[in-house]
Structure 1
């Protein structure tokens, strides 16, 4: 039997899921999704994208964009204080 004859040959040839059971400690043994270390049952390709479309989105003040903005503002304030010290 050729490898192309059986449609399950691709699933059998795929990498295995790396998720482990808490109870038994054994690995899942399911086929991992392409580009992911785990199978579809253990979180591959799952989850929401970050941002307003996420169900637990509140106000965005802790988003990456705001955190980077605050860091930039704080850096500018520190530089301004250093310049004021040099002027005095």
Structure 2
């Protein structure tokens, strides 16, 4: 094991990583970016607050509130 190839990626301290390298030349920690969850993964959706549809609803609601407050202030004058 001590003769195997090393990762040699730069660590936060500025030293070289001493972990054993995989086939791509880096260790499991520095091997590259994750591909993430597959597209359309329903298991990753916890709630719908940040979906495009929810954002559009919040935008429309804010516009409606502004227009209502304008109507109320105009009718008071």
Q: TM-score scaled by structure 2? A: 0.45
Query: Larger Rg: 1 or 2?
Result: 2
Q: TM-score scaled by structure 1? A: 0.42
